Structure 1
Amino acid sequence: MMPLENQPMLWIARSIRWTMMLCVTALIAGCAAIPAGSYCDLANPIWWQSVDELDATPDGIVRQVVRHNERYEAVCGMAISRLG
């Protein structure tokens, strides 16, 4: 059995542990916000600033950008050429 003089320290240690766990849980839960809105509200077409920039972009990245822009056009129903 523990001496009586050590019991207050044990209670303080438990309180600190619980407080820290609650703070971490609250912080983690606060970071789990899900952005509201549809794909069309959150996504935008991707553009290159110049032909030189397009030429310097690797082919794999160009394919991904084209795929993204095609998906945007299909889902949002907007022709990208009309955006400006």
Structure 2
Amino acid sequence: MKLIIFGATGGVGQALLQQTLAANLEVTAFVRTPAKVQLTHENLTVVQGDAFNQADVTAAIAGHDAVVSCLGSSNGMKPSTELQEMTQIL
């Protein structure tokens, strides 16, 4: 199975990344900042992109069997539509 994780550098994303790699799945981490991915693994591919950019998302998803969103809002506790916007793009 080939899986892509959006938001793979956040707390939940990192935990999921560790679990999927431990299960020997092929995993793509879709992130804004590749340097934040602390793991290396032969089954891990890191793709830099913007979850607000339809072209980035579409290109990254191609060829994957499953998509998982671990995206969060950068606005903390303030009201925001960021997650709604990114989810529509996904």
TM-score category by the smaller chain?
Answer: under 0.3
Which structure exhibits the higher relative contact order, with contacts defined as CA atoms closer than 8 Å and separated by 6 or more residues?
2
Higher-Rg structure is: 1
Query: What is the TM-score when the length of structure 1 is the normalising length?
Result: 0.23
Q: Would you tell me which structure has more strand in proportion to its own residues?
A: 2
Query: What is the TM-score when the length of structure 2 is the normalising length?
Result: 0.22
